[in-house]
Amino acid sequence: PRNIAVMTSGGDAPGMNANVRSIVRTAIIKGCRAFAIYEGYEGLVRGGPEYIREMGWDDVRGWLREGGTNIGTARCKEFRERAGRLSAAKNLIDAGIDALIVCGGDGSLTGADVFRHDWPSLVKELLDSGRITEEQYAKHEHLNICGTVGSIDNDMSSTDATIGAYSSLARICQAVDYIDATANSHARAFVIEVMGRHCGWLALMAGIATSADYILIPEKPASSQQWQEQMCQIVSKHRERGKRKTIVLVAEGAITNDLVPISTKDVADVLINKLGLDTRITTLGHVQRGGTAVAYDRMLATLQGVEAVEAVLECTPNTPSPMIGIEENKIVRRSLVDAVKLTQSVAEAISEKNFKKAMSLRDTEFSE
Ligand code: ADP
């Protein structure tokens, strides 16, 4: 491939800009032309010079530290349909692009995988309907696709960390530190909701890093009675020992073992009614996504950008699409299809109430 495009998709994450910068500049260093697809799959489906723009070295200057994604991101219904993917294929071919690197979460990478799978039949259809020439067909029979994982949730299998997770974790810890001071002053309890969708990583790691009294995550659900009793017992013990403040972190995906969502209000009600604590609820919300990328995310995004460009340059039509991960501090290439499947099987195990399986799948992910 000589014309490499990069796009960011799904939820934004700090470090996505660093990843785009790295991909653009690595492509240029390797003698390729670099393109950015603006607004995620939406831009791919719409196409044209407004959405598909060539990027020069200077276009990404200063992007290393910036939060969010400067090339935009969107959620796109049309790309889930074949008709949308057909337009996307036509737009890529018209722009002369032969490799696509997608930085996004598991949804976006599932989309990338579906796109690569459909590609041969999409280009055939475009040729048969006269929308592309024989010459274009010959040049674009294959599309090289590579995924890098941009997500604050750290919910992707086959990688120890996703781009953005450590920035978000740092922001959460900072916010909890602020709350600590006021909680301590008034001897109050705070119930804090933390992002992460169906993954408890942010809540769990933030809880360890701020010494929260109790943490509720989706991967280790208990019955309503069990978590309420356990939380009250632990919080009471801490109070008896003279601790003036109570911090409970609730992952946004926290559930009971009957799959009933646990809200911050449910938790606050228990602290008020059973322990009589002066309790407040704080939902951190989108501050968790904002701000500059921490050093780890800048490093991860940069190294993975280099690896992603190398991967698409080395891919043959028979190579499975790679996903760039990090395992035991080494940047690695993993099968995109397998990573997506394994990630989905954790969610499936939870929905089937098979928590042991979900935990073991997560463990494999951590220890592999
Ligand atoms: P994230 O990447 O953060 O998990 P989403 O799950 O919203 O975010 O996915 C982002 C976009 O990826 C969707 O809006 C859609 O355009 C595309 N996408 C997700 N799943 C599929 C799929 N199964 N087939 C095709 N496209 C998909």
Read off the pLDDT of residues 83-133 as tens digits, 9 standing for 90 and up: 999 999 999 999 999 999 999 999 999 999 999 999 999 999 999 999 999
* Average pLDDT, integer, range 296-312: 98
To the question of whether residue 6 is assigned a binding role by annotation, the answer is no
ipTM for the predicted complex: 0.97
In testing the pocket of ligand 1, which one of 39, 79, 289 has its CB within 8 Å of the most ligand atoms?
Answer: 79
Least confident of 113-117, 211-215, 303-307: 113-117
How far the first Cα of the chain sits from its last, in Å, is 32
Ligand 1 centroid – CA 110 distance (Å): 7
Residue 142: pLDDT over 60: yes
Find tokens 């800009």 and name the residue: 17
* H-run or E-run covering 296: helix 295-314
To the question of whether residue 188 is assigned a binding role by annotation, the answer is yes
* Catalytic annotation, pick one of 12, 113, 153, 155: 153
Residue with CA closest to ligand 1 atom 22: 111
Strand blocks (E) in the chain:
3-8, 33-37, 52-55, 99-104, 144-149, 189-194, 214-216, 246-251, 279-283, 322-327, 330-335
- Other CB atoms within 10 A of residue 160 CB: 18
Residue with CA closest to ligand 1 atom 12: 108
Q: Specify the pLDDT at position 365.
A: 55
Token pair belonging to 240: 């008896």
Give the distance between the most distant pair of CA atoms in the chain. 79
Ligand 1 centroid – CA 108 distance (Å): 4
| HSE-CB for 277 with a 13 A CA cutoff | 30
Ligand 1 centroid – CA 142 distance (Å): 22
153 is known as an active-site residue: yes
To the question of whether residue 105 is assigned a binding role by annotation, the answer is yes
